[in-house]
Amino acid sequence: MPTVSPSINLTHHFLIAMPGLDDEAFAKSVIYMCEHTDRGALGLIINKPSDINLKGLFDKVELPLRREDLTDALVFQGGPVQTERGFVLHESIMPGKESVYASTMTIPGGLEMTTSKDVLEALSTGAGPRRVFVSLGYSAWGEGQLESEISDNSWLTVPADMDVIFDTPASERYDKALLLLGVQSWTLSPEAGHA
């Protein structure tokens, strides 16, 4: 098995699935990496919407949604792990300071990922973070697993761009993420290879 440098850190990067990756959960996906350490990695798929919008999600958790800008926003399938649990990726309310929400991971690059209900409660009052991305479930890799998949040409990586997450329609996120590398999807071969 090829080895990859243990110092690789893909936190605040996109993983972009290569065309040959035919795993149902990850085919043609773009994953925002929330954390990557020597113990493993965690991310959210940002381009696979579910069939529920935020208004529907808030109805399910019995909260009003007083943010007109978010009513029709889609909830995404963040990955195959804990698909019944919500994950809210959002801009930091106070960059450089501790999060105002109970269960939050601070991500270098100005984002936070919150799993506690208090962020939903803030949104329900009309407050909360300005830009949010909500998913059910997440994607995870054990120690060395992601590095191995990258060396097998399953993924391309590029530093994340918040506009792709928050301002680009879901159907265009795969191509926009590839453009960050200067690549167009039609130029990629579904066959993996090594030089």
Q: In this structure, what CATH number is given to the domain that contains residue 166?
A: 3.40.1740.10
> What are 52's two structure tokens?
């529920």
What's 84's DSSP letter?
E
- Pick 4 or 61 by higher pLDDT: 61
Spatial separation of the C-alpha atoms in residues 11 and 165, rounded to whole Å: 15
Mean pLDDT of the chain: 89
Asked if the structure places residue 104 within a domain, the reply is: yes
Asked if the structure places residue 27 within a domain, the reply is: yes
Asked if the structure places residue 191 within a domain, the reply is: no
Full domain range(s) for residue 17:
13-184
Asked if the structure places residue 167 within a domain, the reply is: yes
Sequence length of the chain is 195
Give the pLDDT confidence of 110-169 residue by residue, as tens digits. 899 999 999 999 999 999 899 999 999 999 999 999 999 999 999 999 999 999 999 999
Asked if the structure places residue 192 within a domain, the reply is: no
Looking only at the bridges linking them, the beta strands covering 74-77 and 132-141 are parallel
Whole-structure pTM value? 0.90
Q: How many domains does the chain have?
A: 1
Least Cα distance to 88 among 49, 56, 59, 117 occurs for 117
Asked if the structure places residue 6 within a domain, the reply is: no
Asked if the structure places residue 3 within a domain, the reply is: no
Asked if the structure places residue 194 within a domain, the reply is: no
